[in-house]
Amino acid sequence: MVSYPIFTSITKVTLDMQRLLTLALAFLVAGCAATGPKFTLHVTKEPTNGILYLYRPMQIANSLISPGVIVDEKEYAVLPPGGYMPLELPAGTHVVDLKLSDRYQGQSKKSFDVTLKQPTYVRIDTWNEKFGSTITRRFALTEQPASVAEVELNDCKLQDALGGPRFSKSHFFYQN
C-alpha cells in the first residue's frame, strides 16, 4: 500500500481545525453564560409578596441570545443561559414577556400566578425549528413544578434583575 504524505497532513490539519473550532465554540458559549452566585431559595421581604423565579437552563441552542425580561410591563435585565432571577412580587397574576430581536420568535405575554405559599417557577425554553431551508429560533415561557425547577436551578447562577444589562436590538451586545 502506498502512503501519500500530503493526504496524511491534510487529515491532521482538518482534525486540528475541528478541535480548535470546538474549543473556540466552548469558550464563546461559556462567555455568554450567566455569572453570579449559585441558586439559593430567596425569602420575601414583605409578607404580602411571593417569589417568581425566572430561569434559563444552559443550552447550546440560541446560547448567544439573552432575551430581555418584562414583568407587568416593567423591563428587567436580560437572562443569559444558565441564569435565574428571583422577583419579589405582590401575590396575584403577573404577565411575563420576553424582549427579543426581530430575528427570533417567542411566546409573548403569558400570565402566571404568584402565591404567598410557594414560589412560582418559570423556565425560558429555547429551540430551533427547521422548515425547508429556513431555521426559526424560538423562545417560550413554561411554568415548572418545584420538583423539576429546583433541580434545574442548581446549575443556574443569580442575575441582577434591576442592575444587570438591558436588552439591545443587537443579539451580541447589551446596553445599560
pLDDT at 78: 86
Domain ranges of the chain: 49-158
Q: Which residues pair with 47 in a beta bridge?
A: none
pLDDT at 24: 45
- With a CB cutoff of 8 Å and minimum separation 6, the contacts of 72 are 89, 94, 95
- Do 153 and 120 meet the contact criterion of CB atoms below 8 Å apart? no
H helix and E strand count, the chain: 2, 10
pTM of the full structure: 0.72
pLDDT at 34: 57
pLDDT at 119: 96
Output the tens digit of pLDDT for each of the chain's 176 residues.
565 565 555 555 555 555 544 544 444 444 445 567 788 888 899 999 999 999 999 877 777 778 888 899 998 888 889 999 999 999 999 999 988 876 666 666 899 999 998 999 999 988 888 888 887 778 889 999 999 999 999 999 998 877 766 665 444 444 43
Q: Give the side-chain half-sphere CA count within 13 A for 45.
A: 4
pLDDT at 85: 94
Instruction: Indicate the CATH number of 49-158 among 1.10.10, 2.60.40, 3.90.320, 1.10.3470.
Output: 2.60.40
pLDDT at 10: 55
